Chains A and B, each alone.
Chain A
């Protein structure tokens, strides 16, 4: 059996993190770049090598590096696992990760803390690869927490800006809520199966065909809570839009392509558990569908280019959950892959636009950029068409697979999921083309940005190192355009991996994943699939048409519709006031308890008060006793004589027996 040295894959990035993190401050920029890029490239090459030899491997391939926890009742090893599912994730993480590292060279070139940025990025890669490669829930949880840490550090990268620091904190806390679910699920697993190893847990479930629902439902729902936190699903999605405070490559890598898909990966990984619990599976589908729809409506009204993409990410993650929720795990994972391509590209292109405009993110002051930054425009166009679901781009293939699987799923609610998913596809197409038109078409509305010489940290940050000289709108450097072009090509061709049988393909992807993430449920017919594909294409086209109408040919329409539907517009524009509701229901009471009950009453009252009381009591007795020490010799003599007399009396009456004096 060949030894793949899987441990090297996460270890190389952590070495890059240590070198850059400890010494990077003193390194010249070129050296920091070299260390970071090499640390991202080696895992990619190793994964490429594994891909070439994969067909000759016995899967799952498990590599154990000694015991981590060894008690009589419970064992956990530092074990890595490679199967089809983790291989797919590895390809996405290392491939997209490497491209975004390259992109960051250009994007972050003028930023203060260049070394810090790349150190964090390498740290993220380390934890993400640990998460993907782990062979048990415990090691997975380490990666799970670690990517949360890296995400926190990178969201708060411009830490002198209050909003960025708050966004990082918010992301961390919302993730923590989900992590509680993951932890409790692990406790249940240990209590019930006595192990956390994927292989042993799933084998134990497989050996007991009667095991349905019950504890598996509980585990599934708790895992789902964890996935909701990490993958920004209702009710824990609110951190992701705020996470856009981080630099754009971070949004592309962590908050679009890799980390936020960890929840989907986890559900696909634990599909054995979900397969045995109809309730947990239904919950996944319901949450996914609801998130996909609501996030899409919220994305329609945003004016910040990155926030549109953030809501779009939440919405697309909802699709992946929907795919998993109708037991079509490979469809969900396939959408994960294509989404990683097109959404990373969308973010990178948006970053290129922001770069071109010197830090401007508001779409209302963009426009007319098509001719000025053509490469960005064309790559973005590929991604927009892909996410909107136009054949033959990758987004069409994966989204359609999910919708088709929802339609044919035996769940009675399947048709409803399909209908909402279809509506969401229309909304997606609408808001993406809205972004496309507002950014690239029409006349430039950017009047003021040319004197705003700054980088991406915006104007209220002190972290801008060297103010770029004022320059007109410019195309980004090669290091940014090349990764974007590669991703654009992937957007166009990746659909071929899972090209559906109804359209003459073989759906190679779902066959490939079948052994790791259960085969797609059969049913339906090629006719049906064809009809559904045509319907969803028509929906995407109509979304495009409406966007064209509102933001290209008749610019007055949006304002008039806003005036007409003021109530709904207000509701959606304010994102259903979810942040405000959470603030009032959770944050305010917690702050109240923390400030008044815990800080004032318990900390200052009980703890500080107890200490002060002890101190003052001792001082009081001390000052009483100090009066004896008057300094007057005759008073000392008086005390001495009085006490001696007392002693004499005591001896005389025999009281001293009680004190042991004879």
Chain B
């Protein structure tokens, strides 16, 4: 049996990669993918703890997260296409309309 700490370490590594990519990458699609990565890192911890404590609620939460992630992907990709049509770029540093 694999000890839970391994799952958690893997999850932390994935999450950190997600955060780092989110901060570093300029391409909006990559940023989007890094968000997915963080969500899935969290999903991994949920599943690991659910297995550890024999509680099903963790697994149910994972389904919720996956549904939200799917919805987010649909909306997010639509926004990305709209932004690209209007600005012809995917560089987040140039998409700063909300700046003061």
Contacts and interface: CB of A to CB of B under 8 A. Distances in A.
Interface stretch (A84-92, A494-502, A632-640): A632-640
Interface string B41-67: 000000000000000000000000000
A632 B19 contact: no
B96 A631 contact: yes
A634 B92 CA distance: 8
B75 interface: no
Contact of B97 (A631, A637, A641): A631
Interface in B9-50: 19, 22-23, 26, 31
A661 interface: no
B85 interface: no
A626 interface: yes
Interface string A197-217: 000000000000000000000
A645 to B, nearest CB: 9
B31 to A, nearest CB: 8
B23 A634 contact: yes
Contact of B92 (A626, A629, A633, A641): A633
Nearest to A641: B19
Contacts of B22: 634, 637, 641
Contacts of B97: 631
Contacts of B93: 632, 634
Nearest to B99: A631
Interface in A613-662: 626, 629-634, 637-638, 641
A644 to B, nearest CB: 9
Contacts of A634: 22-23, 26, 92-93
A630 B99 contact: yes
Contact of B96 (A626, A630, A637): A630
Q: Which secondary structure characterizes the binding site on chain A?
A: helix
B100 A631 contact: yes
B25 to A, nearest CB: 9
Interface in B77-100: 92-93, 95-100
Contacts of A626: 100
A641 B99 contact: no
Chain B interface size range: 10 to 19
A626 B98 CA distance: 12
Contacts of B100: 626, 629-631
B95 to A, nearest CB: 7
A631 B31 CA distance: 16
Nearest to B92: A633
A183 B96 CA distance: 72
Nearest to A638: B23
Given A626-B100, A629-B100, A637 B95 contact: no
Nearest to A629: B100
B47 to A, nearest CB: 22
A631 B23 CA distance: 15
Contact of A641 (B23, B26, B31, B98): B23
B100 to A, nearest CB: 6
A64 B93 CA distance: 88
Nearest to A627: B100
A156 B100 CA distance: 59
A333 B96 CA distance: 91
Contacts of A630: 96, 99-100
Contacts of B98: 629, 631
A437 B19 CA distance: 111
Interface in A448-491: none
A629 B96 CA distance: 11
Interface of B: 19, 22-23, 26, 31, 92-93, 95-100
8 contacts: A626-B100, A629-B99, A631-B100, A632-B93, A633-B92, A633-B96, A641-B19, A641-B23
Given A631-B99, A633-B31, A634-B22, 15 more contacts: A629-B100, A630-B96, A630-B99, A631-B97, A632-B93, A632-B96, A632-B99, A633-B96, A634-B23, A634-B26, A634-B92, A637-B22, A637-B23, A638-B23, A641-B22
